[in-house]
Amino acid sequence: MNMTSVIEIQKKGIPMHRILYAVFFFQRLLLQLRSDENQIKNTIVVLSFLAVCEIIEEIFYHSHLLEKTKTVRIIRYIQCVFASVILLFLHGLEDSGIMILVLWLILVIDFLISMQLENRTYVILFLFLVSFPVLSVILTKMTFSGNDHWLYFFFDILMVLVILAGETFLLLDYLHGLNKTMSDQYYELEDAVEKNKNILNMQEKLKKTNEQLNMQKLDLQLANKQIKEANSEMTAQKEILRYIAMSFDVVKISNHITDSIMQVKKLGFCAVYIRENVYLNQHANYVVKTNFGQLQSKIKEHMEDIYLKMTSENENEAVFHENVKTEFPFLNDVNICSVYARVLELDGDTYGLFLLGDCKKDYFAEHMSFYHAVIAQYDIAIGNAKIYNEMQNMARKDGLTGINNRIYFSELFKNAVSKMKKMNGCMSVALFDIDKFKNVNDTYGHLAGDEVIKKIATTTQSYIEKYNGFVCRYGGEEFVAVLPDRKLEVAQPIIEDLFEELCRQVVVYNGLEIHMSVSIGLTAYPEVCKDTDDLLKRADWCMYYAKEHGRCQINVDDGSIQRNE
């Protein structure tokens, strides 16, 4: 038994001692008051001894004396000797004998505990030390007094000592076995704790390793995702560049680019707006791709306003993550949380708008390089288309009037006829000439004549194109107008309105007013002209017929007009 255990046992026994001392004190006092025997001195000695024992117990309890084993051992032995003396000489009063015997027995046990008995030899020695005074006195009294009372008392004490010794040996065996078992268990526990500690350390290391692996896995997944996105973006950019190199059709390029963006980025919508007269386009172009069917028309309706607002505020780029619904009320009915707007610019001049939207919040806060690259490619495409169309325009347009020349007209006419035949359609052709144009040149000069030609050309073009037709300058003062998919009965009112409009035109040159008139020949396929190759020829015959029969009129082909070649 270790020292800490001894101290704990001694401390735990002190409350029991207090109870024993108090009960013994009041019992002895009560017996003295009720007894007729005159044993005041013995009672005072017993009560004083009890009081001293109680004071010693309180000192033990409230101080560190219990930690001093030698002091405790000496005091306990002195208590045992005094208890033995009282037991043999001073107890008196027959009724207090059991209490004195119990007191002596407890003090003997406390003494033995203070000796930390773990060896049998020491047990015998200490028992002899405690029992020697009692047995010696009893044997002396038996020898000299011859009283049988001491003989019986000797055997009682001897029996107590034998039982105490036997129980002590059993207790020692038990404590020794218990101590060994506890030691074995303690070492096993230490081993288990150490193993558990190692297991816990291993588990902690495995946990950290797993966390690191999971983090690396997430990093790899993110890296793979980014690589795939980068590959998709590079592939899309490559395809866009290839398409740009192959085509100068801005509408097709716009469709291809918006399709590529939607395919790679899976946006809510992607839209492009190009204002008119950027690449010689007469009308604004809109391309809108979206997953929300009802949104397409709304975006198309508002894109020009967004473009004008941004250009008026000199704002080239804007990202909207907050108040999207306030900035763009037409998005109220769809799940769009992020919008990116970019004004398109070419050679220092703005020409359109890129508008992107997605349902993810803060989507356009970063990773914008792909969009910037695509927009840069789009700028290149628009620049190329502009140059190409200008070159084409130079080759296709009449230098004076700006309308189609005769060479390009041949191509347009051929394509229109081919399409008409495939669709089993119809076509009307009008050919007209400015009346007495030579007189205009002779009277006002060739520059005035040029102004007259330009006036006739622009008026005819704007009027015919309203009906999806096309016009060209066919000769010096001759023009031809073609109305695809128009029967003669439909085309005739249109040409009559045009005739009246042309005859109302007045050119003011050097303060002089020049009035104009034209002669028009009109034919149609297949009502009158059965062969498309004869359309222009018959229109020409009709026109000359009108000129020869008074000018300033329309001659409609009825199939009867013939002209000698």
287-314 pLDDT, tens digit each = 999 988 788 888 999 999 999 999 999 9
The torsion angle over the Cα atoms of residues 20, 22, 25 and 28, rounded to 10 degrees, is: -70
Biggest alpha carbon distance in the chain? 190
Confidence band (pLDDT; 50, 70, 90) for 434? very high
Burial class (CB in 10 A: 0-12, 13-18, 19+), 176: middle
Predicted local distance difference test score (pLDDT) of residue 116: 57
Output the CA–CA distances (angstroms, integers) from residue 115 to 70, 164, 167, 359, 493, in the order listed. 9, 15, 16, 86, 139
Residue 310 pLDDT: 92
pLDDT at 428 over 90: yes
Res 543 pLDDT > 70: yes
Q: Are 457 and 471 in contact (CB under 8 A)?
A: yes
Query: What is the per-residue pLDDT for 265?
Result: 85
Asked if 355 and 219 count as a contact pair (C-beta separation under 8 A), the reply is no
Token pair for 68: 């001093």
Residue 325's pLDDT band, with cuts at 50, 70 and 90, is: confident
**pLDDT at position 126, please?**
67
Pick from 506, 475, 507, 479: which is nearest to 495 by CA?
Answer: 479
pLDDT at 247 over 90: no
**Residue 24: band (very low, low, confident or very high) from pLDDT cuts 50, 70, 90:** confident
For residue 222, the model assigns a pLDDT of: 76
User: Is residue 560's pLDDT more than 90?
Assistant: no
Rounded distance between C-alpha atoms, residue 158 and residue 136, angstroms: 12
Whole-number average pLDDT of the chain: 82
Q: Are 92 and 39 in contact (CB under 8 A)?
A: yes
Mean pLDDT, rounded, for 269-281: 89
Lowest-confidence region among 96-110, 281-295, 361-375, 405-419:
96-110
Between 163 and 408, the more confident residue is 408
Residue 430 is predicted with a pLDDT of: 96
Q: Which of 185-189, 203-207, 387-391 has the lowest mean pLDDT?
A: 185-189
Other Cβ atoms within 10 Å of 416 Cβ, number: 20
The pTM (predicted TM-score) of the whole model is 0.54
Tell me how far apart the alpha carbons of residues 127 and 496 are, in angstroms, rounded to a whole number. 150
Residue 60 binned pLDDT confidence (cut-offs 50, 70, 90): confident
Q: How confident is the model at residue 163 (pLDDT cuts 50, 70, 90)?
A: low
The span from the CA of 132 to the CA of 433, in Å, is 162
Average pLDDT estimate for 364-371: 84
286 forms bridges with which residues in the sheet?
273
Query: What pLDDT is stored for residue 114 in this prediction?
Result: 66
pLDDT of residue 426: 95
Q: In sequence order, what are the beta bridge partners of 338? A: 358
Cα angle 269, 324, 318 (rounded to 5 degrees) comes to 75
Q: Is the pLDDT of residue 94 over 80?
A: no
The stretch 420-425 carries a mean pLDDT of 92
What pLDDT score does 171 carry? 53
Of residues 346, 348, 344, 359, the one with CA closest to residue 290: 359
The C-alpha atoms of residue 406 and residue 401 are separated, in whole angstroms, by 12
**CA-based torsion, 199, 204, 209, 215: positive or negative:** positive
Model confidence at 183: pLDDT above 80: no
The pLDDT score that the predictor gives to residue 274 is: 93
Which pLDDT does position 177 carry in this prediction? 59
Higher pLDDT, 105 or 4: 105
pLDDT band at 394 (very low <50, low <70, confident <90, very high): confident
Arithmetic mean of pLDDT, 78-89 = 72
Q: How confident is the model at residue 506 (pLDDT cuts 50, 70, 90)?
A: very high
Residue 10's pLDDT is: 67
Total residue count of the chain as it appears in this document: 565
Mean pLDDT of 403-429: 93
Measure Cα distances from 245 to 36, 260, 354 in Å: 139, 16, 21
pLDDT at 137: 64
pLDDT at 153: 58
Note the pLDDT of residue 368. 85
Does residue 433 or residue 265 have the better pLDDT? 433
Q: Angle at CA 426, nearest 5°, toward 420 and 427?
A: 95
